[in-house]
A = this chain, B = another copy of it.
């Protein structure tokens, strides 16, 4: 039997089955259940089964856009969003799924969504997705960016990256494709994705106008949003807070505007001498998103791209506007999260979360890193995992990964894994620091296995069992070493854990009742070492 296998916890109905990875341990140690993002596994030619299909249909508030089949959209006057349901006091199967997954009360899930403090991204046209929640009261989530660029990659490669990213624990995936075949790439990704998919629609809109930001219009953008919403995109980054008056604030920065969407909108605003059309048409945009339950990810187009630019006037001016837009979106029953930086030195990280929570009415924060220094291209998964762990501890709900290729090139499969692993570490470290119920059980089980020299259990519990095992085997490959009470780091004589185990055994043989004496100071034990 494989020691790691998928198990399902069934909810109130037979089609509500929540996946976990169950790790079977040796001896009388109880199995450990880990959150599982990998999905049931799909054949790229067929796509995943529509897990949520019946749930969506049963609610009766959506209808086929073109008379029959898919895509679906809200019936006239209906807003089929999880926010609308939560506000109405309704517990959806999606909420129940999330509650079982997080091992928290379903009322908490519903109330946090209703208050806007959490989002459950779940487009009615992406029934393949397994519900997950993003909010400060829940496990910190990780997003992985994939997608083609004009220079490199293919559709098949991107689907493989998606599967690879969710295998290692990505909670959502953003398809940031910008080259040819954007629609086709996205279709393949959505149909095969067990996790919510995010996009930045302005990228495709820009392709539609030949790559010239000046030629962008609200109409082209609107068409693109509808196209993507009908495909099943679960959340969309919209740079509606890059206002014309803010652009000059960014001009004298060390690194100007580093958000692609932000720079595109800034260019449009300046060229037309007009306010950002995403801002001026925001109400219309809300109504579109409400019809499919697409969640807003309000983009931080003016996020800092260097340590020098962190927490500056441009960044915080935009954040204030994102707060205004949050309130507008909520009026339309649209779920909202807020994107954050970027590059921020450690001592300026907390201010970002505090201000975001205040200005954006506690909507979930979703940050890119932040990178805590600019000096280490090729290691920005590490420079940013530091910032991500900290900002997660302070209350950020989802962390967008950064890969080793950041600033240098498009991530490949290995980079995707390196980024996801670094961010799962950051997210879990934040869960521990926040005291998330149950988070530490994983650490405790692994540490107990380590202390008891249950090497195989330790590997199976590891975030990346394959690599942990291969590193161990690099110096002690023999099978007996898997039960040895030492490793090559210290060798048999110097293993502190082995010595402590022996101390523990002596203690068990009689030291226990001497402990009180010891604690009162200077007591002696009468247990000679063998």
Which residues of chain A have a CB within 8 Å of any CB of chain B?
149-152, 178-179, 203, 206, 211, 213-214, 244-245, 247-251, 254-260, 262-264, 266-267, 270-271, 273-275, 305-308, 343, 345-347, 372-379, 381-383, 385-386, 389-390, 393, 404-410, 412, 421-422, 424-426, 428-430, 432-435, 440, 442-444, 446-448, 450-451, 458-459, 461-464, 467-468, 470-472, 474-476, 487-497, 499-504, 506-507, 511, 514-515, 518-519, 521-529
Contact = CB atoms under 8 A, between A and B. Distances in A.
Contacts of A440: 307-308, 345
17 contacts: A149-B490, A152-B488, A211-B493, A249-B518, A257-B500, A260-B496, A270-B503, A307-B444, A308-B443, A308-B444, A346-B433, A375-B425, A378-B467, A381-B382, A386-B386, A408-B472, A410-B488
B273 A447 contact: no
Closest 6 CB pairs of A and B: A256-B500, A150-B491, A306-B447, A263-B499, A346-B433, A263-B496
Nearest to A304: B447
Contacts of A447: 254-255, 305-308, 343, 374
Given A248-B514, A257-B496, 15 more contacts: A178-B491, A203-B494, A249-B519, A251-B503, A255-B447, A256-B504, A258-B497, A305-B447, A305-B451, A308-B444, A343-B447, A345-B440, A346-B390, A375-B425, A407-B487
B428 A375 contact: yes
Contacts of A489: 149, 405-410
A487 B250 CA distance: 22
A247 B493 contact: no
A442 B376 CA distance: 11
Q: Tell me how many chains of this kind the complex includes.
A: 2
A250 B528 CA distance: 18
Contact of A524 (B244, B345, B373): B244
A212 to B, nearest CB: 8
Contacts of A463: 375-376, 379
A499 B255 CA distance: 11
Given A267-B499, A429-B345, A408 B519 contact: no
A251 B502 CA distance: 10
A254 B475 CA distance: 26
Nearest to A371: B429
A201 to B, nearest CB: 14
B425 A386 contact: yes
A428 B307 CA distance: 12
A528 B268 CA distance: 9
B307 A443 contact: yes
A395 to B, nearest CB: 13
A266 B494 contact: no
B500 A271 contact: no
Contacts of A259: 496
B149 A494 contact: yes
Given A504-B256, A511-B251, A375 B443 contact: yes
Contacts of A149: 488-491, 494
Contacts of A372: 389, 425, 429, 432-433
